[in-house]
Structure 1
C-alpha cells in the first residue's frame, strides 16, 4: 500500500510545510506497515493452499487503510488550517497534495503496468486483457471486478490501491474546501455511509466481490482512520494507550483472523470490528511513542521493510518460485526443494526488487516532488 509522508498536527508547534522530516515522523508506523504487508504476503502465498490464512490478508489491508486514513486526513486538515490562516489557498493546497500523492503512488504503479503492457504483446497474462487493462490504468480495478464478476489473476491486489486513489480524489477536495471544523463530521459521515452500504449489500444478498470490493465501504474504513488522526491531540487515558494495551490490540489483529474470523461469512460480518481494532492500534501507537511495542516496531528489519512496503505490495504477486524453477530448468538443472522453501525465496526476491525500486526510482521522484512543492509554497 501507499506510504504516506507522516505529519504532526495540533501539537502546539507553528504550522510548517508538509514534508519528510525526522521530527514529523511517527515512530512505529513503518514497522506496522511491514507487519501489514507480511499479513498480505502470507495470505497470498500460503493462503491459497490453506484457507485459514485468507482473512489474514484482509486484516493487513485494514491496517493499511487505518494508517493511510489517519495520515492523509491530518495532512489535509493541516493544510486547511494554513488556508484559514491566510498562508496558502485551498487550490494551491490541493495541487500540492495531488503532486505529492502522484509522485509517491503513480511512478512504480504505472511502471509495473507499462512493463506488462509491453510483455503482453508476446505473452498472455491471465486477467490482463481488454477492459481490465483500462480499469487498472484508471485506478478502477475494484469496480471492474465486482461489475463484471471476473477476477484479474495476479493483478487482483490492485483493488486496494484503486480504493485509496478514489478516496484521495473525493476526500481531498471536500476537506480542503470546507472549514477545518467540519473535518470530524465529514469523516464520521463517510464512516456511517460505509457501514450503511455494507449493511444494505449484505441484506440484498449481493455477491462476495460486490461486498468486499465496493468503494464506499473502503472509504468508511479510511475515514475511520481519519477520525483517529483528528483526535491525536487529545490525551487518551493511559490504560488505553499503554504498552500492554498496544500489545493486546496487536495480538487481536493477528489472532482473530486465524481463529474465529477465518470463515468468509463471519469475516464479512465482523470486518468493521477488525477495522475498528486496527484503527485503535494505529491510534495507540501514535499516542504512546515510548512503549516497548513501539520499540519493537522500530527495529531495523521492520522499519526498513515498512519503508519499502508499497513496492513490496505491488511486486509480490508477480514473483513466483515456479518461474525461477522454469528458468533454471532451461539450464539443465532441476530443483528439488521442500514445500516451505518457495515462500521465503519469493519474499526475498520481492524485498530485493522493492529495495532497488525505492533507492533508484521512488525516492528520487519523491525528493523532486517535495522540493518542487516547497518552492511553490515559499
Structure 2
C-alpha cells in the first residue's frame, strides 16, 4: 500500500495538509470579518451563514495540530532528545510571534486606543492571562476581550503541547490508540455533563477539557497512519463516517434552529464537527499526491500559501478588521453601494491586508527563528529516517 511505504520511511511532508490549513484560516477570517448578524447582508443572508460556520476552522486547526504533533512524537520517541528537541523546536515556532503580538497589543495598540478615546483601559491588569497562555480560562469566566478573543485557541494548543509529549512517552506504541480514545471519551463526557447542566456555550467552547477530544482525534489519526492494517480499516470506515457526520451535523443544526438549544446539542455539534475535520485530514493523508479533485484543490498554490502563513494570519487578522473594516464599509456606503456588498468588499480587503502583513512578519521575523530549529535535531536510530514534516 502506498501510504504504508511513506510511513515506514519516516515523517513526510504532506502538501494537502498545508492546503487544509489554508482552508482553516480562510474560514476563520471569513467568520470574524463577516460581522455578528445576517441582517447586514440583506438578501445575501445565505452568504453570512456560509461565513458563520467558518468559525469551525478552529476545529480543523485542532485536529491538524493533534495529527502533526503526535506524528512527530511517535517518530522521535526513541530519541534521547525527545523532550528537549521537541520543546525547543515548539518554542521557536510559536513563542516569538505570539509574544510579539501580545506586546504590540498591550504596549502599542492599547495605549494608542486609550489616547484616542481618552480613557484608561482595564485590560492592562488582565494581560497576565495572555503572557501565561491561560487566556482560555480567563474567557470561560465571561471576560472575553474582543480584540484578543481568538487567542483562546492558541492557549488550548499550548496546553496540549505541554502534556501530550509526556503522555505519548509513557505509553507503549500499542497503547497510544487507547490513550487517544480515552482522551476523546473523557473530554466528550465532560462536555456532555457541562452541556446537560446548562453551562454557557462559551465556557464549553473554550475550556481545555471540553475541547481536548478534537486534538486527541488528530493523535489517533497519526497512529493509524503508521499502520498499514488500520489504514485499510480506516479507509473502509471513511466512506461511511464522512457523509454520516455531515448529514447528522446538518440535522443537529436544523433541530437547534427550530427548537433552540436542547440537551446535548453542543456536545453532539462539536463531536460531529471533529469527525468531519478528521475525515478531511484522513482524506488528505490517504490521497496525498493523487489526482482526486479534493487532493488537487488542497495542493493548489493559493491554499498552500495561505496555510504557510496561517499562524501569523490567525494572530493578526483581527487587527486588520479593527483598523480597516469600518472605514472601508463607510467609504463604500458613501458611494451608494449596498451594505452587504460593502461588507463583502471590506472582507476581501481585510483578507489581503492580513496576508500582506503575514508575509512581512514571516520574512522579517518568523523565518529567522525557524532556522534555529536545525540546532535541535533528534538523534534517531540509523534505520529511522526523518524527512520534512508539515508542522503547525
Using the size of structure 1 for normalisation, the TM-score is 0.81
Q: Provide the secondary structure at the position in 1 that maps to 2:57.
A: helix
Quick check: 1:103–1:365 contact (8 Å CA) kept in 2? Answer: yes
Q: CA deviation at 1:117?
A: 2.2
Quick check: 1:56–1:258 contact (8 Å CA) kept in 2? Answer: no
CA distance in 2, matches of 1:230, 1:97: 18
CA distance in 1, matches of 2:360, 2:252: 33
Could you say which residue in structure 2 is the equivalent of 1:162?
Answer: 155
Quick check: 2:63–2:278 contact (8 Å CA) kept in 1? Answer: yes
1:214-233 aligned at under 5 Å gives the runs: 214-232=207-225, 233=227
1:65 and 2:62 equivalent?
yes
CA distance in 2, matches of 1:260, 1:307: 35
Could you say which residue in structure 2 is the equivalent of 1:268?
Answer: 266
1:208 and 2:201 equivalent?
yes
Quick check: 2:317–2:354 contact (8 Å CA) kept in 1? Answer: yes
2:129 is aligned, of 125, 129, 135, to: 135
Q: CA deviation at 1:236?
A: 2.6
Q: More helix per residue: 1 or 2?
A: 2
Quick check: 1:128–1:155 contact (8 Å CA) kept in 2? Answer: no
Q: CA deviation at 1:96?
A: 0.7
The verdict on how the C-alpha distance between 1:227 and 1:117 changes in structure 2, with shifts beyond 3 A counting, is: same
CA distance in 1, matches of 2:61, 2:51: 16
CA distance in 1, matches of 2:345, 2:353: 13
Quick check: 1:127–1:155 contact (8 Å CA) kept in 2? Answer: no
CA distance in 2, matches of 1:216, 1:223: 11
Q: RMSD between aligned alpha carbons?
A: 3.4
Aligned residues: 346
Q: CA deviation at 1:127?
A: 8.1
Q: CA deviation at 1:321?
A: 6.8
Could you say which residue in structure 2 is the equivalent of 1:103?
Answer: 92
The verdict on how the C-alpha distance between 1:135 and 1:167 changes in structure 2, with shifts beyond 3 A counting, is: same
1:183 is aligned, of 176, 179, 182, to: 176
2:71 is aligned, of 51, 74, 77, to: 74
Could you say which residue in structure 2 is the equivalent of 1:114?
Answer: 103
| Greater RCO (Cα-Cα under 8 Å, separation 6 or more) | 2
Could you say which residue in structure 1 is the equivalent of 2:284?
Answer: 285
Q: What do residues 145-167 of structure 1 show as CA deviations (whole Å, max 9, x unaligned)?
A: 112x1211121000111100011
1:235 and 2:231 equivalent?
yes
1:172 is aligned, of 161, 165, 182, to: 165
Quick check: 1:127–1:153 contact (8 Å CA) kept in 2? Answer: no
Q: CA deviation at 1:33?
A: 1.0
CA distance in 2, matches of 1:296, 1:358: 24
Using the size of structure 2 for normalisation, the TM-score is 0.78
